[in-house]
Structure 1
Amino acid sequence: MSTLASALPLLATKNVLCGVTGSTIQFFCDLTRDYGPTSTKKSVIIASSCGNRPIGTTGAHIVLNVFFAKETKPQLDEDTLAPLRTREVFGLYCYRSVVGEKILCIEVDFNDVGTKKVGKGRGTVLATSRGCRPLGNTGIYCSFNCLRSLGAPSNLSELSSVFQPSTHPVGEKVDLGNGFIMNVESSTQITIVYECGRDEMCDTVRLRPYLLNGVINLNMCIRCGVKRNAAYENESSKKRTLLLSNSSVFAKPSLTARNAKARYTVTPGVNTERIRLEVRFDPTYIHYNGGWNEPIIVSNTGGWVTLEDGVMFTFCAHRSPVSLASDTVVDAVREVLGGFSPEELAYLRFKEVYRKVFEKVGTANAEEDDMKEEVRLAIISHFHRRAF
């Protein structure tokens, strides 16, 4: 049974709704939507999870992409969609159907999921479409994976938590798993900490997929035992990384880092040395890199950073453009800007656009600062799409 009527938007995604009934979770995508070209310009996005998207506190995450080739046009007439309205197996442990008018539904029952290990045992595939699969004769393709990271808590019964954004008050300490701790020190300062004994270090340690405040994707990886060879030196050279010494102060980890400071300390222990890596950033910072449909950078280290001989790390926090500007605001901005000639646009002030958008949306109780940020980003996206 479809939960479309009660489905809610999945945080920080493009055109993905989510509904939960008992142990079953359903993901819905409107096949008529168009979110512009991918970074390769070869296909057009219909819906996307924008990378790994955690399913609340279940310990699982999904990767979903729905798209069509740029040179084609989707066929969404009823004769083409009719065969897809029957619920069918879609790969392994998931089902596919078209519901409503033109809505794709991907369904997973968490009481019946897979146990296959992938990535050298670093994760478990719960459900998968087994690659990009065509949706009948529509010309649309869909790729879906639902996984659980190694060591992640298996709380598959907590599906309802998918609707609860992971917001944290100042002063809270959050266990992100795999040895990573997040300290919320102020509204503009967060520190990610990784600490362990040197003999406890694995070859690769990754931060599990995490969505901060419902909009910021956190990614961090530490690699140990990296051999110094020509490829190693070349990678460090290309990224222009700096060696972080054993220091008590936070420093910019590389010449290309944005909104990131790091501190790496090694302290003697009873049986082994203790290493501690801290990365600090401002979650309110935004750097728009100018690419349509590309993630908006909040913080990054500028690539791999060398900590000591054989030990490297990288950190990135980014936001999806759609998570910053709702569909309502995007549509309002498009309508407002469409009413101006190219000559008028050249002299148009943001204040005037904002006033007209606010009147159209009619959100009397909206936070003005948040609304301005949405409008600003929607304007940027609008002009990039026109340029394409």
Structure 2
Amino acid sequence: MTGFALGVDQEEWCGRLRALSAERLRPLAEKGEPGRVNRPLLAALGELGLLERVFAAGALELCLLRESLAYGCTEAETALALQGLGAYPVLRAGSEAQRQRWLPHVRAGRAVAAFALSEPGAGSDAAALALAAERDPAGGAAGGGGGWRLSGEKCWISNAPEADFYTVFARTGEGPGAKGVSAFLVPADREGLSGEPLDMLSPHPIGSLRFDGVPVGPEDLLGEPGRGFRVAMDTLNLFRPSVGAFAVGMARAALDATLAHTAGRTAFGGTLSDLQAVAHRVAEMATRTEAARLLVYAAAGAYDRGAADVPKRAAMAKLLATETAQYVVDHAVQLHGAVALRRGHLLEHLYREVRAPRIYEGASEVQRTIIAKELYGALEGEVSGQ
């Protein structure tokens, strides 16, 4: 990819993915139950090798994959992304035994993963999480001693309570704030772990989890004690630009639907596209979508290069893309009129889907805070270096 365009091979691959998502995956998604894990859809993603690509791909390829799937089937995109989000910490920080036990099943779509960070009192401020990991010298899941007991709650967890395992972040207390957080791989059948689904606007499964003295041991750690917040941030730095790609895919689908509708709908002696107010609004939608798309690609490219400013770029990409998608889908609904509000219409579906990405994996306000912190931190570094 150049700084401004995809290569021919990349464009062709994205086109095949868009067709695949609409023709092969959307029918499976339509058979699923809203708010429940769609295991046949996950199995198809595994069979097609798309889940494997999540773990083998760089950030740019992940963005192209998510954008293309979102264009044709948002449910397939979300199912794929949640597998990556829940299992990526295992890939990066897990032991060889953990990776061998779980990742082949995740890649095949047989095991459902979940990323359990948010809590009732710690959503955007993830460093304030309160799930307690209390030392249990005689315990541990394997009974070998030197373990912990997890007590507390997680909330707004995608794929809960139906996931087969959870990447759980808990306070082990090695230091204050983020320095006292550790990451654990907790199988869903672990004693003391329970959960319930939440009835949410977004159609994918979201639930809460209750930890009642859940035993975990050193073999369940992801990485080192007290380094769990870094595991979480490494994961989010990769997936935040790709949330932006998901948003861009929805925006492009809404834009294309609007172009077709306004060019073909007769009104006031011509078509809607003949009206300057309509044409200018469509032009604005297209311009914002393309700007967001390029910023997402730039952030992904920075991640793949190992650039130092990845947190800032990732936050910018997620912020602009998700806010842009909200704008584009909202105006697409307006230009379609009442037909877009009918249950089952593409835009009715996108209107429900597009709201959540402005909140999860760091709300827009959090992204602005990250961007400002990075900007002022760089300025202070320049001043001190003079």
Higher helix share: 2
Structure possessing the higher radius of gyration over alpha carbons: 1
Higher strand share: 1
- What TM-score does the superposition give when structure 2 sets the normalisation length? 0.29
